[in-house]
Structure formats: C-alpha cells, structure tokens
Structure 1
C-alpha cells in the first residue's frame, strides 16, 4: 500500500472507539482562556466594532452631527479590587449601569447586582435566547434584594453557566440583560434607556459569551458536547496487525464525524440558523458589536475576535477553506469604496437581519440600533427608520416583502415604522441597491426628475437610530391614478389597472382589503436596465402601490404593495404608463 492512498474497504478493519473528546468544563474553559489571553496579548480588539474608526471619502448630502453626551449618574460606591486579570490586562471600560458582581464568587459563592454608573472595570456580556419564559429577571420588586445578594442556585441554567465561564476566566463583572435591566418598570423606562446603549455595552465588554445552541434560558450551554465527537480508530490490514503495529509496520487512522460549521462563511449573511441565538434578531448585533466572541454551538466552543482570528475545539481549518466569520464579513463594510454608498453596504445586513426571529414586533428598529449607530459614526450619514439618506435612498425604498404563513400569522397591528420603511414588514425582505462599482453598473433612471424633497422622522426615544413613533417622506415624481383588484384568497396578491392594462403586484400586509372608496396610485420610483428580450431593449420598473389615507388630504398616502415589472417598448402592458408626464405630482408618504 502506498502512503497517502485512500484505504480500500477490504484493507480497513474498524477496531474500536478509542477515545471520546468529551471533556470536563474546566478543561474546555482552559482552552478558551488561552484563546482569549492570546488575543489580549497580541491584538488590538478592545472597544469592539464601535472602536473601529474609518475615514470615508463618501460625500454625504445631509450633514449629521454626532455629538455624544455621556450618561451621568451616581456611583454605587463599590470600589474595584484588582484581580490577576486586571493586573495583566488593564483594558478597563466604563461599566454599564448595573452589572453582576462576581468578585466574591470564587471564594464565597456570593453574587450580587451593583449600581455602577460611574465606575470602570472589566466585564463580560451574555448573548442568549430567553425562550418562552425567563424566571431569572430583575424587577422593581426584587431589585433591592439582589443588590445585597443574588443566590447562584436561583439562577436559570444559562445564567449559571455564564457566571461559571466568566469566573473561571477571572472576569470580575458580568452583564446579562435579564438581570441588569429592570423588567416591567413604569413605561419600561429602564429598558428604553439601556436598549439604546447596546453598541457601548457589547462593544466595551472584554468578551461576549454566546449560548448559541440553546433555545431557552433554562437549557444551559456548558454541558458535555451534544453531538458525538468520538474518535474512531481504523487499522489497515495491508500494513500489519495489532500485534506488530508497534514495530512500525502498521498504519493507524483516526477519524470522527465533521462538526457543523455552516454558520461560518458567506451564508452567515444569507440564511440564519433555525435555532438558538443564530436565529434571533436581537442577537445579531450582539455578535457583530463584540470585540471577542466565545460561542457555544454545534457541540463545541468557537472563538472569534476583530483581528480575523477564529479558533474552535476541533481545529476546523476555516481560513484554508475560504470561510470567514461574521466579523470578517462586517467590519470591512465600514470602509466604503469610491462607488459604494451606505445603503448599498446596508442591503445584505437588512436582508439577513429580517430573516431572524423577533418576538416583539415593535423592537424591529431597536434591536438593530447598536449596529446602526456604529455605521452612522463611521459613514457620517443621516439615518431614517432603517434607511440611509444617501444617493441610493430612493432605490432603498424598492424593497419587497417575503410573505409566508409565519409572517402572516405573527403580523402585528402595532406601529413600528412608516409604511415606506422595510421595518414596517414583520418578516424577511429583499432589497435591490445598484452597485455603481461593477463593470456594468445598472444605473437607475428617475422619470421626470423624481426626488425626495423631505424626510421627517419622530423618534420614540432619545435614540435616533432606535424605535420611531411617526415619520414621512415628501416625494415628487410620477404618481399614476390606478384601480386595484384583489386576486388571491389569502389577500397576498392584487393587480393594478390603468388604461385597461393590468400589472400584478403583492400586498405588503395580510390584512389588506380593497374598498370602493379607496384611491390608489402607482409611484414609478425608478427604472433600471434589464437583459434584452428577443434583442429588444428591456427595462425594469420599480413600482410602489400607494393608497390615500382615509379622511386625510388627497396627497397623503401609505404604501400597501410593491412590484418590479420587466417590459419592452412593444409590451402591451406598457400602455399602463401612457401619458405618465401628465401625472407628475407631489405626495407625502407616511
């Protein structure tokens, strides 16, 4: 047998499962500790994505001031005692308003919450999935007791495991949203304030611990690997037997099942996983904003940092296979090329984010606000309900909802965003932004000088990248008078009718009804060159279906649907656009 030649089945004898890769959590965390210390000693990752500053030459049409007002508050008086971790790595940041104090956990098994608004220190964050019920949350009723003592045994298993990891690595403080944000207080004031600080909270953490494989706070993540990782030993009969293999005549081959690393690679910003934190909207920014991310997923630990480092327990060769982490995918987006715009960069972010699950519909913009703040500080561009006010703003309005049974079932009547924003849809969307840097750019064409004259947003809180309670755009362009017919029983599809011609489209929401008193318009947002049809020039028309607001002024509309229509000059449906120059007007879309 030639060394390196694949073994034939006849040559190979399955001997035994010789070793299990299951280890105690102490042994596994020692490995994680070495990864983290290597990063601390050799990389410049502190501050997370928010600390990455880039000089972009992109010319913004709208001036944006990024004045930051540090939060002021009274210190709890808790003095910070240095640990060995602090002595070696003096990368100290301002602590969040409350943190879980672990400094006495090793010696006394004592935990407590502390108010720490004016203190500095080193802390870790936990990224996890709540599940149906979280019994470990802090409320106004139990806050006082927890400032004195928080029994370890009373915590949900995922919280216990996070405490164990942080304490083992000698991180003195831990931030967990369920513990450190008061739940259910008057007007949710504590949550409203702290939810706008996620870029700082997760970015300043020395480590983010991600319980990525757990669907509930009760499941935990520090157990032995869930997937079998046993090594199986094979012996070639052609090279000797067990008796003489010690003499050098035998060849032993060890193999195991390959672990799941599909969450790495370009698919990271395509389709999210179906379970755990990799399926949740809130957890997306927790992953992106972190300086160092220790993930428990697929039966093993994985480590990523902002210096493009990736490590895992099975030594998976990510780099040679061309796979990249979510951090490698996202950080370069803060530096735009000459022809790129913030909205072009933002497209894949939105498409991925909207494919994740969100329990509370009104969190749609809030759960992405940390990433939006980081992007805004780097790109210096005004942000409006999920869109950037750049030269591609009009094209960013050309999003299409991906409707299915789940999105229709979970549709909420609560106000989330203006109808023209992708955030108004409660499920996946697709967005098309032309990339001007390509060899054959699909430059959009705007009929009759289509332009957005004004964008107004009313924030729901002081966070301008968070939730909104109102907003609208004033646009001038071609607004065709049309009639609309419903064509499907599930209220998902309709047709617009003008000059006896019909063009189908999809409604944005499942609750649409067509009334005789409704007045509809078709806004030709832009046109784009498309592949020729039978050697005939073809264009794609991006069409937004609008309906006037009941009881409001005639020029006040809301978006109810969208379609992209491909047609040539000889296409009969093009008659729908006949006389479009007579339909130039101004509308307010809310």
Structure 2
C-alpha cells in the first residue's frame, strides 16, 4: 500500500451492477453512477478501483475508479483514519430541505451570519479607514410586494446596513435603472417585474433582517457614462462596507435565480468503513470528499466573471448559492451545509481557500511582521501583500469580461485598497516599487491584442487570457534600470481605472535577434544565435503577427540554489522582454511582444557566452553613473567590453542607453 504502488481490484462487472448497488443505497456507487453518466461509459465496461497512499493527512488514501482505460473522478475521495482526525469531520450534518432556498437552508445562512457578526473579530473591522454608504440603495423591508430606490443623501437613514448581490448578467434583457425611470423607481418597484435572482436575493435580505440591498443594475444609472464612471470608482466602499455579499454562484443569468433543487443522496457521506487488507495495517476510516469546495467553485459561471473577484475579496462575508448546497465564506471560516461549523482540515488544506483580506488598509503590520516564503527568504508582510496582488491578477486573468475595456476598471477597487495598504504608486496594473519584477509576466494564450487600446504593452492588462508572473528569487540580479514610468488615466475620476496612454523609460542592453522556430520542437521553444541557443518564448500574440528581427531586453537573472531544486540541477537563468520597434515612432521606441527565458548554460557560442558578464558590467556602470531621466546616455562599447571578441552587429547602435517602451 505504499505511495505509487497501484494494485487494481475488481469493483463491478458492468454498469448495471453499479445501478443496482446505487438503488440499494450504496453512496459510493451512487456518486460513481453520477460521474459515469456525465462522461459516458459503455454499459458492458467492467469497473475496478485502486488506492493511492497520500502523505497528508498521515495514513490516508485516495480512491480511484477505472472503467476500461478511463479514470473516473467522483470527487477526490479520501479514506482518513479516525486516529488522524482533528475533530472537524465529525461535525458533518445531514442536508435538510429540497432546495437551496428552503427554510432549512435559510436558517443555516442566518446562523452563519449572526455568528460571524457576534464572534468574528477579523470580519468586523472596517477594511477602509472611511465608511461610506452607497449613493443609492434598494429598501426592501417596507412592503412585501415592492422594493424602493433610495437616494441616500436625500433620506435620513437610521440603519444603513445593506447587502450586495454578485450575479451574471448573461446577455439577457433585465430591468435596469435609467435616467428615464429613476423617479419611478423612487416611488417603488414591483417585485413581479424583477428577475428571479433579484427577488430571491431580496428574500435573503429580509430573512436576515437587513433593510437594504445594493444591486448594480438597479443602483447605477445604466445609460449615463458619467454615473458609471463615478460609481465604478466607489466599488471598494460598496463591497467592503456591505454586511454580506450574496453570490449567485451557479446562475448564468438573472432569470435562473439563486435556488436549486437538490438530491440529498448526492450530499450524504459514508459512515465509517473498516479495511480488511492482507498486506497492510487495517484501520477504521471515514470516506471524505476533500475537494468539496473546489467542486462547488471551479467552473461556476459567477466565479469565471472578471468583476466578481474584487466583489468576493473585499466583502467581509459571502454566501454562495451553489448547485447542491450553500457555502459560507468569511475572513475567519469557510463552511457549507454539509459541514456547517467549517470545512474539515483535509478539505481546506487542498483549497485555494479563502481569498478574503484579513488586514485593514494602512496597517503598520505590513512593515513589521515577517513571514517565511517558499524560497526560504524572510519576507515582510508588505512583500507578501505584493505577492498577493500577483496572485489576484493571475486569478483575475482566467475570468472573462463582457466589455474588454473594463480590464483595469474591474480590479480598480482592489488597486485602491492595495495602494493604501502599501503606500505605493499604481501604474496600469503594476506597482512602481516592484515594477521590474512585475514586468516579468507571460501569457498562456497567443490571443490577438485588443483592437481598442486599454493599457501599455508592458502591462498584463494589454492582453486577453490567463497570465502568470514569474517567481522572483532571493539572489536575483537586475539588468535594467527604470528612469521613469508615466501613465495617463482615461478619466480623472479614477486614476486606478482605464488608461489613455502609458510608457516607461529605461536603460539596459538591447540585443537585435531573429527567433528561429524548428518544426520538431514545441512551439514555445525558439532558437537564436544562428540557431544554436534554445530559448523559451511566451509570445503575447499569434506567432504570425510580429515582425523580425526582434529586440531582446534582458531584465534579470538568478541562480537556483540547492534548496530550490533538490534534483541537483542548478542553472543560472535570465528573463528578457521581447520587443519590436513601435510603428510610426522614432528609433528607441518599442512595444512588448513577449517574454523569453533561457539558461546561461545553453549559451555556448562565444558571443552569447558574454551575456552574463556584460550584464554584470552594465549593472556596475548604472550604479556608478546614474543617468537623469531627462536625457539619453550611451555607454561606449569599451565600457561594456563589447570589443572583446563579440560580434558588434549583435547590438543596437544606441544600446545600452535610454529607450522607451509603450
């Protein structure tokens, strides 16, 4: 039973036997049958199972099923011995109610809400130093058949508690606030004309005895660009000051509603099981679905919506309406109806877990508290906050936006919070203090760049699709020096929102190269240096959209240490931006088209073998002779050692010196 030693055991000879076992009450076969129906399996297939031993929790096993050669996932089911329990698994509760808006479900939501209000100190501190009530709210406690739009500055509000709603618009026509119907909305809105999701969200607010709710389409004037600009700049206040964010997690549009009918058998957990192995120690186990959180969230329509990330992060509490049950997410706990007191540690350890912010903005703890990073380097909490920003953006880049122009606007609330917390300058999705580090991002997809300008080419916001930031190692050496970064916002109302134009001016080594792609290699690998130097290239666009030759700008290099790579291979690597001359601009103006990485050990011919040495020399010169951002400087070739046997045609005439990247 050691890890990796798979032994297969016969389960059922055909699908009909699984159906029979499911109908007889076998929970495992019921779950297996659900998975089989999703992927489609030949009815005559025989089934087998195997166990894989896990390192954590100790002595636990992962259960896998196979039909023919197909692996069938029925959730990540783990056999966890009772002796390893932390007690949380025994807090399992049978699900009551036939749907997720049942009385039993709302009673549980009420318990979570009031427990959090009364007991969770981390959930009750103000995230922002200023508490601000939204411009407009819907009052929902006056008449059971109506809601009323309230202009908060026009009415005396004794209890300003309000909920928010996160939902997918879904491209369908729903009732919206406009300049024409604003006065009518102030008189009252019949619940009969509202989409199902809105009506059920109002029901939740009433159940929790909260008098107001904020819904974007009913509280922002949808035909006023000015109102949208003003209100979208206040999203940090709207969500961080709400009592609870209701999340229509599995609904594709406003008409699907929050509620879902459910089969309680899909939520039942096995009782204890006893092993009867001949070649391993036997024990008593509980069968646990340890990806219950991921199964509910991953792929859910709302979680894939770009705007929702900041709504979920900034709100102190979230109530997720999922396919089979409610999930609770606050700063101190993740729970569900199956585990109402909190997910077992085996589940939460596997989760990307809680994205909520646990510190108020401007906290001195950012400067004082140190944490141990995965690279074993000591990091201040301020460093951890920069890492957290990178994590947020990587998550955000996986989501979609209805309007591509919202790319920066949809995270502007997170940017405002982070700007206050870090006391840093925000530049089109990057932070000035970590600017060079955050230039080193790569795009997973080679999507065409948007036709409408929304960010400088060096910003992750200039591309569509998922991106990834590089890990910055403790011994990183930088090969460029940034003299100036300028970003002009599209609207003065929100300097963290859309961008009109942006650029940076820097000094470094610009190398003219031609990228050579060889058919037998993966399309991410190119070669330069007469086709002898392999280089990993992540282009920001389709390969046929850029023009040769390109310009390679080394950004940084680092050497792996033994603790970073136990296998013993410890290369020195460099990261570089791939640029091309900016169309219609003078010499020295460039745009980014990708990121390159290679190991110095691959660079064996004479001219490329000098890259690291040139970088070291350049770095010393930059420190010795700082250059004003107002003038260009050109180092002589003797200064950087280019005359020592290196082909001068490799380097641009004005390099190294000052250049601009848009």
Shorter-chain TM-score tier: 0.7 to 0.9
Contact 1:48 1:292 in 2 (8 A): no
Give the Å deviation of 1:320: 2.9
Structure 1 residue aligned with 2:334, among 290, 310, 334?
310
1:393 aligns with 2:432: no
Name the counterpart of 1:3: none
Name the counterpart of 2:488: 458
* Structure 1 residues 554-585: Cα deviation after superposition (integer angstroms, max 9, x where no partner): 11110011111123176349628667735312
Structure 1 residue aligned with 2:245, among 186, 208, 212?
208
Name the counterpart of 1:102: 140
Output the CA distance in 2 between the equivalents of 1:512 and 1:577. Answer: 31
Output the CA distance in 2 between the equivalents of 1:15 and 1:546. Answer: 63
1:412 aligns with 2:450: yes
State the SS of the aligned residue for 1:528.
Answer: strand
Give the Å deviation of 1:496: 6.7
Output the CA distance in 1 between the equivalents of 2:445 and 2:438. Answer: 19
Name the counterpart of 2:572: 539
Contact 1:46 1:206 in 2 (8 A): no
Output the CA distance in 1 between the equivalents of 2:397 and 2:126. Answer: 21
Output the CA distance in 1 between the equivalents of 2:26 and 2:569. Answer: 68
State the SS of the aligned residue for 1:527.
Answer: strand
Structure 2 residue aligned with 1:144, among 142, 158, 183?
183
* Structure 1 residues 340-386: Cα deviation after superposition (integer angstroms, max 9, x where no partner): 42533322222111112222212111111111211221111111111
Contact 1:280 1:356 in 2 (8 A): yes
Structure 2 gap segments, 5+ residues each: 1-11, 13-21, 28-93, 274-285, 371-377, 616-639, 643-654
Cα distance change, pair 529–554 in 1 and its aligned pair in 2 (3 A): same
Give the Å deviation of 1:388: 1.2
1:29 aligns with 2:68: no
1:513 aligns with 2:545: yes
Output the CA distance in 2 between the equivalents of 1:128 and 1:530. Answer: 45
Contact 1:529 1:539 in 2 (8 A): yes
Contact 1:49 1:288 in 2 (8 A): no
Output the CA distance in 2 between the equivalents of 1:348 and 1:378. Answer: 16
Output the CA distance in 2 between the equivalents of 1:540 and 1:456. Answer: 30
State the SS of the aligned residue for 1:29.
Answer: helix
State the SS of the aligned residue for 1:178.
Answer: helix
Name the counterpart of 1:551: 584
Cα distance change, pair 261–494 in 1 and its aligned pair in 2 (3 A): closer
Give the Å deviation of 1:34: 2.0
CA RMSD of aligned residues (A): 3.8
Name the counterpart of 2:645: none
Name the counterpart of 2:48: none
Cα distance change, pair 349–554 in 1 and its aligned pair in 2 (3 A): same
Give the Å deviation of 1:401: 0.2
Name the counterpart of 1:78: none
Give the Å deviation of 1:256: 11
Output the CA distance in 2 between the equivalents of 1:344 and 1:235. Answer: 41
Cα distance change, pair 320–575 in 1 and its aligned pair in 2 (3 A): closer
Contact 2:312 2:356 in 1 (8 A): no
Give the Å deviation of 1:30: 2.0
Name the counterpart of 1:434: 472
Contact 1:49 1:331 in 2 (8 A): no
Cα distance change, pair 426–234 in 1 and its aligned pair in 2 (3 A): closer
State the SS of the aligned residue for 2:389.
Answer: helix
Q: What are the residue-to-residue correspondences of 1:287-366 with 2, within 5 Å?
A: 287-306=312-331, 308-315=332-339, 317-321=342-346, 323=348, 326-327=353-354, 330-331=357-358, 336=366, 337=370, 339-340=379-380, 341=383, 342-366=385-409
Structure 1 gap segments, 5+ residues each: 1-8, 54-67, 69-92, 237-254, 436-440
Name the counterpart of 1:89: none
1:167 aligns with 2:206: yes
- What is the TM-score normalised by the length of structure 1? 0.74
Give the Å deviation of 1:234: 8.9
**Comparing 565-574 with 492-501, which one deviates more in the overlay?**
492-501
> How many residues align structurally?
495
1:116 aligns with 2:146: no
Give the Å deviation of 1:216: 1.4
Contact 1:49 1:374 in 2 (8 A): no
Cα distance change, pair 134–394 in 1 and its aligned pair in 2 (3 A): same
Q: What are the residue-to-residue correspondences of 1:179-194 with 2, within 5 Å?
A: 179-185=218-224, 188-194=225-231
Give the Å deviation of 1:161: 0.9
